[in-house]
Amino acid sequence: MGTRILVIDNYDSFVFNLVQYLQELGAECTVRRNDEVGAESAADYDGVLISPGPGTPEEAGVSMAMIKKCAEIKKPLLGVCLGHQAIATAFGATVNRAPELLHGKTSIVSHQQSGILENIPSPFVATRYHSLAINESTLPKEIEVTGRSESGVVMSVRHKELPIEGVHALKECPRCFMVKQVWCSR
């Protein structure tokens, strides 16, 4: 039996690419829309992935409650794009309009080569699809920035003590991000 991942679908078609990558790594994925599942469901899985999607973290259904539940029960969680923003928001940070709107554009991302980015070269070219960004000055001390774009936009974060990480942009081969995630390497 593979690692069981609950995937929160924030009404974005890219969720199925992420599911495919996880399945290629042997994970068993259950996909639920952000208004079809409760945060308590996190306890039934080995990890949770919160997908990209439109809107703001506050508009992402169960996403923020799911992040808080995963933090409470120390459940591994990966947030991608909107999920990344929701992690910051759930821990008290603010998300604002990005300095530049980038949809399908590439940027150079530099990072600390830690966590899920450990074996990813730094810098790397990432494809970006977002108009919002984390306001770094509002991040609490338990959330650290692990990657930035060349213009300084926060591109990845992780909790200093819990298995919670977020990435904003995806490398040309997003499965690289998934390989290192705690719940994929069990």
Check residue 173 and give its pLDDT: 42
Neighbours of 95 (CB within 10 A): 21
Domain ranges of the chain: 4-184
pLDDT for residue 175? 45
Mean pLDDT by 10 residues, the chain (186 residues): 92 90 88 98 96 95 98 96 96 91 77 80 77 94 94 93 88 46 44
CATH number of 4-184: 3.40.50.880
In this predicted structure, what is the pLDDT of residue 181?
A: 46
